Amino acid sequence: MIDKSHTARVLLAIALVAPLIAHANETIHVKLTDDMIQLDADTAREGRVTFDVNNAANGNTEHEFAVLRTDMDDARLPVHNGQVTESRFKKIGEVEDLARGSTKRLSVKLAPGRYVLICNRPGHYEMGMHTRFVVSR
Ligand SMILES: [Cu+2]
């Protein structure tokens, strides 16, 4: 004999959980080196993405990590006095003042599209601290 109320509860639970699975929280591990931003994955599904950002540089220099929404090539952003002109972009989020060895987390909601990840300490972008990131449906 089928328990109808039990079946209804199971269906309700599936209906509530399914959208959460479709937009699962993804964590991207980010390693900041002296002249690079390294990712363990350069794509994610749309939804909440957590960047786990570690300053793994050898030099005793603080770094930062910013997420910009742009279709531009990550190597061709406009630069003024050693810094990317962030005002020309939609900045999704950032973490700053990462001392050597430290880790900070940035959790953002990302729509499908192309992004550029940079460190915008003066001179760091031009040293190579930039990479692209793509979010798919
Ligand atoms: Cu930097």
The pLDDT tens digits of the residues spanning 3-21 come to: 677 767 766 666 666 555 5
| CATH architecture of the region 24-136 | Sandwich (2.60)
Q: Would you state the pLDDT for residue 9?
A: 73
35 Cα to the center of ligand 1, angstroms: 7
The string of DSSP letters for 52-77 reads EEEE--SSS--EEEEEEE-SS-TT--
pLDDT in tens, 23-62: 568 999 999 999 999 999 999 999 999 999 999 999 999 9
Residue 131 — very low, low, confident or very high, per pLDDT cuts 50/70/90?
A: very high
CA of 64 to the centre of ligand 1 (A): 6
Boundaries of every domain in the chain: 24-136
CA distances (Å), 18 to each of 21, 24, 134, in order?
Answer: 5, 10, 24
Sign for the CA dihedral angle at 64, 70, 75, 78 comes to negative
